[in-house]
Every structure is written in structure tokens, then in C-alpha cells.
Structure 1
Amino acid sequence: MTEPIPERPPGRATGPARYLPFAAAVALTVLILPVTLVNLRDQYGMSGGGAAALAVVQAGPLLMLAHRPLRAWWIVFPADVVGALAILVRPAHAYDVWPWPPAPLIAYLFLLLALALREPRRTLVGVWLATGAASLALHLVRPDRSTGSGLILPVCGAVVLVIGAAVRERRVAQRRLAEQETVSEAERARRTLLEERARIARELHDVVAHHMSVITVQADSAPYRLPDLPEAAREEFGTIAASARESLAEMRRLLVVLRGDGAEGERAPQPGIDRLQQLVESTVRAGLPAELSLAAGLGAVPPAVDLSAYRIVQEALANVVRHAPGARTRVTVAQDGGGLAVRIVNGPPAERVSPLESAGTGHGLVGMRERVRLTGGTLETGPLPDGGFRVAAWLPLSPSAPADTPAPEDV
């Protein structure tokens, strides 16, 4: 289950980019503060101390735009109203702008933009209504002094809020989409892993069922093949045969669940190393120049290893066809110490053409790793310096306990 996405996007930039909003807030403050001070002192005739104090309250909170714009608004908005009232007691001049002088008006629009990028719609509507109400009230107090800035601020403020809110909503939508894609990819990987495990279970049934059937037949026929057996031994063989038949019945019931309806083809005999030559030949007919090097005298190979080796080669060749069409490929199967070494190496594509599938998910590698883990072997995969790819698996020929849990990269 994913965490609910809050109204305020929690994603933050990393590296030097995370300091850009703070640098912008400092630059804006450094620009607006002296302009406001000079404007209040020279244009509106305020004393130096009063102009400085009012300019600091009006422009200083802009330093909080990057992280606390709402707190900055609670300071700047009353300060702008007080500044408008303070200007009102001064004599009017021909070029006075009232109630919102140019510098505080521009600073207020930047403040609204910062609010729109961080705060929810409800807060933005409240801020805009308060701004419009203050502009209207000041206009009604002295309509003769109003020069139009009381209308400009609500109108421009609404435009800025709409633009900022649209940018913020787009950012939130992109983040939600990215999270959903991440969750979907994880679910696809998990589903693929479960499907591969179910397929392996079906194939193992065919391997294990043969041996269980042999045990049942031998246990049932032992009293007839060995007539001099004591009665206790006969009973023991009967118990073994009954247990084997019960185990086979349980396996077949589980197999019905795993296969589901319409999977009759799964009952065909499972392939092994002896069919690798046919697999490579069919790949060559499909247009992939592949060759097989199969060591002589491999001897008996355990059924699970035999099947796993075939499936690994099959999936590796399919990946070459999908992602590197025309690449020369060599398949090598040989005994290495106490295990079977399976290696599939392909070069770069013969021509720089688009692969048949450009969006690989790596799910084929998930199946390979699961099969190798099942037999207790090891798997190495990765690109080669010349642009090719290498898959190398080592499967023990003697029974080996698989790992209890898959490695993180397996899933």
C-alpha cells in the first residue's frame, strides 16, 4: 500500500539545485528592500527611520519565500496595509501610486507566486479574498487618492495564483504518475516472479513424478520379485508404496491448481540439454547467427539441472533476438568441477537497427535467477565492452540446498 500523497509536494531537489530557491529569495529581497526604502523616503516624504522600518517589514520577510511563504504573507500583508495608511496622511503628489506603491506591489506578486507553488487551493482563495477586500476597503476610504493599483493587485494576483497553482498541480500529477509507474513495475516484477515459480513447479512435477512412480512400482512389485521376504518387510514395502501413491495424488492435485484450465500443452515431456541443438538450429533459422559448443561425455545430469540449463539458454537466445537482432552468439555447455557451466555470449548487433523490443523489463533475468537459485547455483549477467552481453550460469550436479530467500536484485 502506498503512502497518501500530501497536498504539499514533499519532493525536493538534490545537489546544488536545492539552493536555487533560497538564492532567488535573497536576490529578490536585496533588490526590493532598498527600492522600497528610497521610494518611501523620497517619493512619499517619510522620515528615514520610519521608511527604513516599514521597508524592512514589507520586504524582509521575502527571505522566507523558499520555505515559509505563508508566514511571510502574514507579515507582509498587514505591513502593506499599514504602509498604505501611513502614506495616506502625507500630502498627495502628482505621481503618487496608492494604495499599493510599485515596489511593495511587485514584491507581493512574487509572494503570491510562492504561495501558489506550495499551499493548497483553500489557502490561496483565502489569501486572494483578503487581498481584494483590503484593496476595496482602502479604495472606499479615499477614492480620490486611489490611482488604480487597488484594482491591479487583485487582478494580477489572481493571474499569478492561477499560474502558480497550475504549475504545482502539474508537479503533483507528475509525481503521482512516477510513483504509480514505480508501483506498477514492482507489481509486474513480482507477478513475473510468481509466474516463473509456478512454471518451475509444474516442470518439477514432471521430473519428480517419474521418480515417485518408479518408487511406487518397485515397492508394489518387491514382494513378487523377492518371494522370500519376511512378513515385516512386505508390510514395509506396502507402506512405502501407499505413501508414494498418496504423494503422487497430492502432486497431481496441486498441478491442476497451478496449470489452470486450458494448459494441456504443459503435459508434454520437458526438454533438456539433449535438445539444445534443435533450439540453436531453430534460432539460426530465425535469422540469428548462433553456434553451440556442447562438451562430450557430460554423463548423467540431474533432471532439475537438465531442464534449468535448457530454459536458461532458451531465455538468453530469446533476449538476443529481441534486443540485439543479428548479433553473433555462442552457446557453451561444459562440465566445470562439480557443476555444469552454461555460457551464452553475444556480440553487438550486426547493424545499428532498432531492437525488436526497446523497453526491456529484465523479467527474463528474473526467471533465470530463480532457476539457478532453485538448483543452488550461481548466475552472472552483464554487458560486454564491445556492446555485447554475457550470461554465465553454474549449476551444481550434486544436490545443493538453494538459498532461503532471493537476493534483492532477483526481484
Structure 2
Amino acid sequence: MEGAPGVPRPPAGVRARIEDKALRHGLAAPWWIGTTAVLAQVAAALVALAQRDALLSPALLAVAVVAAPFVVQAHVHAWVPAWVDLAAGLVGAAWIAALPVVATGLADFLPVSLAFLVAHVTAATSARVGAVAAVSAIGVAVVLPGPLLGTSADPGGAVVGVLEVCLGAVIGYWFRTQMRALAAERAARSQEAERAALAERQRIAREIHDLVAHSLSVTVLHVAGARQVLLDGVADAAEGRPAALDEATREACEALADAEEVGRRAMADIRRTVGLLARGDGEGRYALPDARDLPALVAQVRAAGLPVEAAVEGDLAAVPPALGLGLYRVLQESLANAARHAPGAPVQVEVDVRRGARLRVVNEVLPGAVPGTDGSGTDGMAARVAGLGGTLRAGRRREGGVVRWVVEAEVAR
């Protein structure tokens, strides 16, 4: 924080120590405010000593007593309790008050010093402690030098002293409310920043999960196809058709090449996605997928060997980018789940973006398959659709005597 004009700047470590300790006690304030109050308290005590012609007397130690708690506060890591400040200030003030005022023409500055002390104690503790401090300060500034010691016989000065101390208590309480409000605001901002960072990490994790799950599913389909082709070729060759093995080898190599291409493309997509999400501005040489990429996604999975039928209603180019990305990721995850849990089973995809957006993915549940809704993929889809203001439903349904796994996402526009 910037210091106040005219106030000497302490070392950075001292400033941080003062502010951090105050913040741990729910008080947010720049270092120079408390420092200025203590310096004003000490300066007023020095003027009060001068009014008593005691600057060169042992009573000068009273000012050292007043300043001692703040010096300790600035150089130790532990919090110095406010009652220590109050006790030291009252002791020093009582020492000064025991001396008669010899200078005339100015009101006694001792109540001014005590007013700063009361303001400081009230700001650091509470209104109740501040009231106790104010009563004690009035006793030291008015009762002690007047009726008890007879060193001050100015009734007008006594009234002014009482008002000064009370004003210090009021200012201290007002400042305390401001510091606590600022501390609460800072805490709220810190929590909001933590929530935003967590949401960003979750968003990146969802994107990477979708990319990896989809690419692995498509790769597995290609590899499984290559394996089956080779097995069929070996079987045909064993039955007296040697040319079938050469054809099977060629088809397997093509399938493996497709799998390699999918893997390379997935790695590029992951690097691109992480880069775009890290910048957070959505700018870059390449854009994230949107609704216009849905047909290409279906074609890619179909080429890998998963039988997919797709029907699209509406203009995909008119879908907002954020919504289009959400639909793309939901379809990507749904097709990956279908390839993983029901390989070879037909998949029907319905996309309707005429009024809002509706995506429906249906595949048969094969015997022995145990798809569920507790995986991170389904949770990620639901969170993504909820973030767009829509709803997602996923689960088994019996349609026409056949058990199917249905994923439905709806977002109103």
C-alpha cells in the first residue's frame, strides 16, 4: 500500500508485518494510519511535557513508555494486545499529568495525546473496550491533575479534555467499522478468486477429459478393426486363399494409420485447447469446435467403425460458439461412451437447433454392459449443460422392448 504523504516509510518488512498482523485480527488498514496515530500521540505528549517545562527532566521517559508498545509491535511477529498500549499510554500520561502546567496561552495537550490513544485502542478492539479506555483516559487527563493533585484548575480546559477524549473514542469506533468492512471485502474477493481458479481448473479438466476419451475411443475402434481384419485374413489364408492375407494386411495398415492420425490430431487439439483456455480470451490461430463441427465428428466416429446415424434440424452456423462447443463436447462424450460400452451397436443422433438446442444420442445396451451415471464423463456433461442454462438426462430406457441408453441435452435460447 502507498504511504501517507509526509509520513516516513518504514522498511518493507516492517510494513508487511504490521499490516499482516492487523489483517489476521480482522482489521484491514495501511501501515501508515496506525503509525500516524502513534506519532501524533507521542508528539502531543512531548508538547504536554514542554507545557510543564519538563522536556529535559526524567519525565521524558514517560514518552518512551507511551511509544514502547508500538516499537515492539513493529519488530515482533506476535500481536501486541491493545491493553498493553492502553496501560503504557495511561502510565505515561499519568506521569506527565502529575506535573503542573507552567506554560499559558495554550490548552493542555495531554488530553490530545490520550484522545489518539483511545482512538487507537478502540479501533483495535471494540466499542466496549474503547469506552473503558475513554473513562480511564478522562480520569488521567481531568480527575488526576485536578481534584486529586491540584496541578490543573482550569474548568474550561477540563471540559475540552473530556470532549477530546470522547471524540477519539468515536473516531476509533468509526475507523474500526471501516477496517472490518474492508477486511471482509478482501476475504470475499479472495474466496471468489479461489472459486474462479477452481472453476477454471475444472473447465480445463473437462475439456481434456472429453478430448482424451473421444480420441482413445476412436483409436480403439480403429485398432480393433485392424485386429479383426488380420484375424479374418489369417483364417482365409489358412483356407487356401493366400491373397486374402495381403488384402487384410493392407486394410489393417490403413486402420492403424487412421488410428495414428487420430492420436496426432488429439495431441494437437489438447495443446490448442490448453493454450486457448490458459489465455482465457478465446483468441488464437485455431478456434475451439462449435456446432458446425458436429457432422465432422459423426463422420470421424463412423469411419472408425461405429454405426452412427445422424439427423440435424436447423442452421448449425447460427448456434452461438459457447453453446456449440457444449453440444460438441456432449456428443463427443456420448459417442465415446457408446464405443466403449456398446461397440458395434447402432447409435442414433438427433440434433435440433431451430428453437433453442436439443441433442439426443441413443444406443442399444448390449448384454453384460453396465453403463452408469456416476462417471466423471456423465458428470462433466451435466455440469457443462448446466453452465449453459440447460438440463441433461442420461440413463436406461426401454423402447419397443429394447433397452437403450439415452442421453438428452436441452438448452433454451
Q: TM-score, normalised by structure 2?
A: 0.43
